[in-house]
Amino acid sequence: MTETVRYERRDGVALVTMNRPEYRNAQNSAMTYALDAAFTRAVEDDEVKVIVLAGAGEHFSAGHDIGSPGRDTDVSFENKAVLWWDHVDKAGGDQRFARESEVYLGMCRRWREIPKPTIASVQGACVAGALMLAWVCDLIVAAEDAFFADPVVRMGIPGVEYFAHPWVLGPRAAKEVLFTGERFSARQAKEWGMLNRVVPRADLEAETLALAGRIAGMPRFGLALAKKAVNQAEDLMGLRSGMDSVFGLHHFAHAHNAEVSGGDSLGGQDARSMRDAGRTG
Ligand code: ZN
């Protein structure tokens, strides 16, 4: 059986790689907890100064798993991000809120607080739930072929669970991205301030590791405090409380969908229809 997430250490850099390339690294709960285990290992290893998050294959990630054979939304997990009850034997909003509080919003917040610098290394698709993974990283290096989208307004839902859009894109670009649901390019994302570097695809890993290597030369505790300082400033700009308020709208949208379409909280969309819709952009 192949590992869902690969872990390697190169000098002072931990390289954490999502490894479901046959499903464009769609993120199921098994991957979420494998990522969490890899990040924990990197935090606890004093030799690791910087963490790089990458995706194996042609794409960084297609987002949350809403259609692969490994989809595991009805499997119990041991809550790590929030203290809440198991979602599995619950119904309706009780079930959805428990699950998404833990595996989506909670886990992303937990990873944003990792006390070491994190760098996302992005190629190909970085769509919907994958934006959340890239956004919780401190820096983002993207290949020229990378493309981004949050198409979940097609589901009648106002953006993915980790609602950082206005803070990472600015309000006007956030609205364009949400209102159209269309793909935007690495060049466009750089212009909007979402990316640190855009590099040729062939140089992505080397450029990311070179940047990580330079950061790894800085003192560990200084980096941790600098990261916390900027994160605290972002929270003072409303990131955390804004996200909490939008999480309520997000769950209202899931509940509305379920109410009007026979229990389908995704508004009649599935992995294929979402992927095809994304292509029009
Ligand atoms: Zn959701």
Between 279 and 95, where is the model more confident?
Answer: 95
Q: What are the CA-CA distances from residue 21 to residues 45, 55, 56, 63, 130 (Å)?
A: 27, 8, 6, 12, 14
Report the separation in Å between the CA atom of 274 and the middle of ligand 1, taken as the mean of its atom positions: 14
Interatomic CA distance for residues 254 and 158, integer angstroms? 10
Interatomic CA distance for residues 117 and 215, integer angstroms? 8
Report the separation in Å between the CA atom of 254 and the middle of ligand 1, taken as the mean of its atom positions: 7
Report the separation in Å between the CA atom of 74 and the middle of ligand 1, taken as the mean of its atom positions: 14
Report the separation in Å between the CA atom of 118 and the middle of ligand 1, taken as the mean of its atom positions: 25
Helix (H) or strand (E) holding 148: strand 147-149
Report the separation in Å between the CA atom of 62 and the middle of ligand 1, taken as the mean of its atom positions: 15
The predicted model scores a pTM of 0.95
199 DSSP β-pair partners = 143
Report the separation in Å between the CA atom of 220 and the middle of ligand 1, taken as the mean of its atom positions: 35
Report the separation in Å between the CA atom of 222 and the middle of ligand 1, taken as the mean of its atom positions: 36
What average pLDDT score do residues 166-171 get?
98
Question: pLDDT of 29-73, one tens digit each?
Answer: 999 999 999 999 999 999 999 999 999 999 999 999 988 888 898
Q: How many residues does the chain have?
A: 281
Residue found by looking up tokens 């692969």 in the block: 68
First to last CA, the chain: 36
Radius of gyration of the chain, Cα coordinates, nearest whole angstrom: 18
Residue found by looking up tokens 């872990």 in the block: 7
Residue found by looking up tokens 């989809």 in the block: 71
Question: pLDDT of 237-276, one tens digit each?
Answer: 999 999 999 999 999 999 999 999 888 998 888 877 777 7
Report the separation in Å between the CA atom of 63 and the middle of ligand 1, taken as the mean of its atom positions: 12
Report the separation in Å between the CA atom of 168 and the middle of ligand 1, taken as the mean of its atom positions: 20
Domains of the chain are 5-276 (3.90.226.10)
- For position 281, what pLDDT does the model report? 34
Report the separation in Å between the CA atom of 100 and the middle of ligand 1, taken as the mean of its atom positions: 6
Interatomic CA distance for residues 242 and 220, integer angstroms? 30
Torsion over CA: 172, 252, 75, 115 (sign): positive
Report the separation in Å between the CA atom of 129 and the middle of ligand 1, taken as the mean of its atom positions: 9
Interatomic CA distance for residues 16 and 166, integer angstroms? 27
Q: What is the residue-averaged pLDDT of the chain?
A: 95
Residues whose beta carbons lie less than 5 angstroms from ion ligand 1: 100
Indicate if the pLDDT at residue 2 is higher than 80: no
